[in-house]
Amino acid sequence: MVGAIALMLVTAVCIAGCASPSSLSPTTHDAVLERFVTAYKGYLTDVPSTENGTITDWQVTWSNSTTANIHATARYTQTNAKVTYNRTVTNFSSTDAATAYLRSYNLTGYALSNTTTERGNVSETALGHPLTILKVYAKTSGEERTWRTIEVEQADSLVIVTDSTVTSS
């Protein structure tokens, strides 16, 4: 009896959800992340063009309103290399929250970069002000024709995890 009632409730919820899809509210994305996605695409478009390259793939997937994953592929004809980027970007409620998250991240095997400026000023553009915190931790592995770099970066309230692979022919 209880199972039948539960089945009826699940069925009713499914039917209600399917019957009126227009009643679902659209997802609102974080404005800072929207600007980040736009600035990053501009940066990736500019860099390859100066090195005889093109963006061959660009996909953005929103995990929720404050986290996005960017998958991009660039092909460089001058060096005969392909670079694949997977970036997960989260905008935390504050710089302190981003710092706490970064402290909890397992950074074993990573080295702190001495980077003092951000490539392309993507985060600065997204946030709308000069960065007060920029920390980049990276680790690289690979062999003759394939190199993988993983970076964990904090740019004020943003935490960016990038997994990129360079493959040369």
> Using an 8 Å Cβ cutoff, are 84 and 56 in contact?
no
The residue extents of the domains of the chain are 28-168
Q: What would the mean pLDDT of 67-79 be, rounded to a whole number?
A: 90
3-state secondary structure of 163: strand
pLDDT of residue 16: 38
Distance CA 83, CA 62 (A): 22
Burial 124-145 (b: 16+ CB within 10 A, else e): bbbbeeebeebebbbeeeeeee
H or E stretch covering 150: strand 146-155
pLDDT tops 70 at residue 80: yes
Q: What would the mean pLDDT of 147-166 be, rounded to a whole number?
A: 96
pLDDT tops 80 at residue 11: no
Q: How many other C-beta atoms are found inside a 10 Å radius of the C-beta of residue 56?
A: 12
Provide DSSP, 6-75.
Answer: HHHHHHHHHHHHHH-GGGSPPPPPPHHHHHHHHHHHHHHHHHHHHTTEEEEEEEEEEEETTEEEEEEEEE
Q: What would the mean pLDDT of 55-60 be, rounded to a whole number?
A: 93
Q: What would the mean pLDDT of 26-32 be, rounded to a whole number?
A: 81
pLDDT of residue 62: 95
Q: Which residues contact 158 (CB under 8 A, 6 or more apart)?
A: 32, 36, 89, 90, 91, 92, 98, 123, 126, 127
Query: Facing residues of 153 across strands?
Result: 136, 160
Q: Give φ, ψ of 84 to 5 degrees.
A: -115, 130
pLDDT tops 90 at residue 100: yes
